[in-house]
Structure 1
Amino acid sequence: MSSQGLLENSELFTTYETDYEVAYGEAQQKLQQIRDLDGEQRREAMKAVERATDECIEILDQLAIEVQNIQSGARSAYNAKIRSYRSDVDKAKKELKKLMDDEDRRQLIGSSNYNKDSQRSQLLQSNSALERTSERLRESSRVANETEQIGSNIMLDLRSQREQLQNSRQTLFEADGYVDRSIQTLKSMTRRAAANKIISYAIIAVLIILILLVLASKFW
């Protein structure tokens, strides 16, 4: 390979190396920030570190390819540098994994606490609903008892009114009998009065006749 080609490969290696340093620097910066973040910002920072370390690995793979085009006498130094870079990236990935495991554990604990609080809240709501249902049942039972008592009183009143109606009906029957007997008595009295009147007229007529006969006998 010509010296010009070796120089170009060396410059290309340097370009990739610069890209690696930028990506690795971003990964380190985000790792430092993660400790001060929480919630969604913390998760976004972890994703950024993961992307940066993946980019670092891709660049290192490309560097390994470029080393093959560098003069054999200089390859060992470049390979040592690549191994050092890979070691740094592996450390960053391990640190990221530890942070992600801690985050998963924290979310799991938080979810467990939330579930406990949710279950406690649901239990309290269920107890409250049960108490309201029991109160409604007691109220319904009270209303049913009152309704039954009112119904019993109404039945007693109806029975009493029925007896009163029956007594009134019997009284009417008796009164009707009295009226019939009174009418019969009046009719009988009327007939007797008429008979007595006729008898009176007859007696008067007889008396008049007798008087006339007496008077007539005096003149004869």
Structure 2
Amino acid sequence: MDTSPTALFDSYEQDFKQIIQSIRDKLEGDGKDAQGEQRKAALRRVEMELDEADEMISQMEIEIQGIPQSLRPSYQSRIKASKADLQRYKKLSKEQHTQLSRSELLSRPGVSATSDEPYGATSDRTRLLAGTSLLEDGSRRLLESQRIALETEEQGADILRSLRGQREQIQNARDTLQRADTSIDRASGTLKKMIRRMYQQRVVTAAIIVVLVILILVILWAKLWR
């Protein structure tokens, strides 16, 4: 298993490329020639894949925080290129959704683009306007969802940075405690040596006093018994 700091980033990027290739096939490849319900299903699948691709980019942005600074610029450029691809296909998907909706409305009975009434009967034109309004509302909701997703992504990145900072603080505190523990051990050894020397000095002092007392007693004995 690859344990390098860029392994997860590379994995997410590879998944992103596979998803984008699938989207490209549906929007620009053979899939774009599908009609009717088949085309609707393809576009629905594109929407799901766009969400998956968006999630892959979010994961890549999280993983880049753990990549060494010396390697990070090249990976940031790769994220930027991936975002550009994603936005391009989001725009293309939206355009094809709109084209499909217009085609369905114009293909209904009573609707003719070449008649004196460009949208057919008044009721058909009303339905077309309502459909357009719904599309615009859907687009606004999609943009709002994207904005919320980006805000959530930024908050997640901030939390990750905060956690990394806290981890560094804990590591620094642990190093400080280890140094303090080492200093305490050294101080304790020094105190033990001082105590040992103090006891040695006491023994020497006591021995000197005993010798002096014996000498005094000997002198007294000598004077008294002579």
- TM-score under structure 2 length normalisation: 0.46
- TM-score under structure 1 length normalisation: 0.47
Q: Tell me which structure has the larger Cα radius of gyration.
A: 1
Structure holding more helix per residue:
1
